[in-house]
Amino acid sequence: MSSTSGTHRLTPFESLDLRTSSGGVPAQRGADPLRVSADQVQRARVVVARNAVDQEDCRRLLDMLGLIDGPDGVPPVSR
The pLDDT value recorded for residue 1 is: 46
Q: State how far Cα 62 lies from the chain centre.
A: 7
| pLDDT mean by block of 10 residues, the chain; 79 residues | 52 55 57 80 95 96 94 88
Q: Residue 45's pLDDT is what?
A: 95
Count each helix (H run) and each strand (E run) in the chain, helices first. Answer: 3, 0
